Amino acid sequence: MSDKRQRARVQGSWAKQVPKHSGPSTGAVPNNHQPKSGSQPPAAWGCGPQKTTTTFEFNQPTKAVRDVPPEKVIELAGDYEISHGPSGVSRLQLLPGFLPPEEADWMFSKLLAELPWSQKTNFRQGEAYDEPRLTCWYGELPYTYAQSTMAANTQWHPLLLTLRETLKQVSGCSFNSLLCNLYRDGHDSIGWHSDDEASLGSKPTIASMSLGDTRVFSLRKQPPPEENGDYTYVERIRVPLSHGTLLLMSGATQDDWQHQVAKEYHDRGPRINLTFRTIYPEPEGHRAGTKLRFTAKDP
Ligand SMILES: O=C(O)CCC(=O)C(=O)O
């Protein structure tokens, strides 16, 4: 029987619906207990109390309400101290238009056509997966990350040697190696990580040159230990990297932040990213590709 008919039958007429009380929005729960009365017959008999009382109990929220910090955007040329912490100052330097457009166009098409691009297979918990991008490596030493090694390659493309020299003037760093990434379209990506392998040394400076379509370079702060690896409330920064832009990461950036280039679900053209680094021989007695924080703790 419908609620309306039930009320009509009980009350002998179309009864007014008991108004719903609106309680406080947080921490309040309805308490619809009927008053306990031994002497009153139940309402269903048509002669008991007709009114249903809705009361609310206020339960103090057990956890403080926390706001997710709004994502910051860095898109103008400048030096940015993105955090100060026990590991030191984390720094970004952004130089959009570092290469003039014609030079960037020319370099992009040469490198796209002439570098030895290939797809690397990495490992996670023993499972192999193909990287969702193409890469190539230059340096006198091999480079191991994600449990897979890129062999030493001293056959530098002449254009890359010229660029390396220019970057030395700007950054003061003598980079001895280079990881090149080719994102073929918006579906290619690189997941959250830090460039913090022991072979890159402590507080590395990394010079990252972008050519081709713009992609968003995102950073998220490492959560404090009490968050148990939960990144929900950490600070986030997005940096759009356009054709010809140079980004320098230095100080504690690799200790205190992670970065990624996420997949995009609208059309993106190809993009080349060149990350110049300084690489050192793997510390003695350590497995290649070990993260610095694990190496530092070991005896
Ligand atoms: O493509 C980029 O801008 C980032 C590349 C990167 O994170 C890396 O090579 O470690």
101 and 48 fall within a common domain: no
Q: Give the β-pairing of 246-251 and 88-95.
A: antiparallel
In a domain, 64, yes or no: no
Task: Give the total number of structural domains in the chain.
Answer: 2
162 and 252 fall within a common domain: yes
Q: Please tell me the pTM assigned to this model.
A: 0.78
Q: How far apart are CA 143 and CA 217, in angstroms?
A: 22
pLDDT at 288: 75
Compute the distance from residue 256 Cα to the ligand 1 centre, in Å.
Answer: 16
Ligand 1: nearest atom to the Cα of 241 = 3
Residue 279 pLDDT greater than 50, yes or no: yes
87 and 41 fall within a common domain: no
149 and 239 fall within a common domain: yes
Identify the weakest region by mean pLDDT among 199-203, 215-219, 289-293. 289-293
Q: How far apart are CA 124 and CA 130, in angstroms?
A: 11
50 and 110 fall within a common domain: no
Residue 238 pLDDT greater than 70, yes or no: yes
Question: Per-residue pLDDT tens for 141-188?
Answer: 999 888 889 999 999 999 999 999 999 999 999 999 999 999 999 999
85 and 194 fall within a common domain: yes
pLDDT at 147: 86
pLDDT at 293: 65
pLDDT at 160: 98
49 and 83 fall within a common domain: no
Task: Residue 46: give the domain boundaries.
Answer: 3-58
80 and 54 fall within a common domain: no
Over residues 187-215, mean pLDDT: 96
Of residues 122, 118, 246, 137, the one with CA closest to residue 199: 137
In a domain, 67, yes or no: no
- The C-alpha angle with vertex 100 and arms to 95 and 105, in degrees rounded to 5, equals 115
31 and 170 fall within a common domain: no
Q: How far apart are CA 190 and CA 260, in angstroms?
A: 5
Structure tokens at 78: 């400048």
Question: Per-residue pLDDT tens for 1-54?
Answer: 444 444 444 443 444 444 444 433 333 334 444 444 444 544 444 444 556 678
pLDDT at 280: 93
197 and 52 fall within a common domain: no
257 in contact with ligand 1, CB cutoff 6 A: no
Over residues 82-109, mean pLDDT: 97
Compute the distance from residue 213 Cα to the ligand 1 centre, in Å.
Answer: 14
pLDDT at 256: 97
Pocket probe for ligand 1: among 108, 215, 259, the residue whose CB has the most ligand atoms within 8 Å is 259
In a domain, 68, yes or no: no
80 and 50 fall within a common domain: no
Identify the weakest region by mean pLDDT among 203-207, 268-272, 293-297. 293-297
Please provide the average confidence, as pLDDT, over all residues in the chain. Answer: 85
82 and 176 fall within a common domain: yes
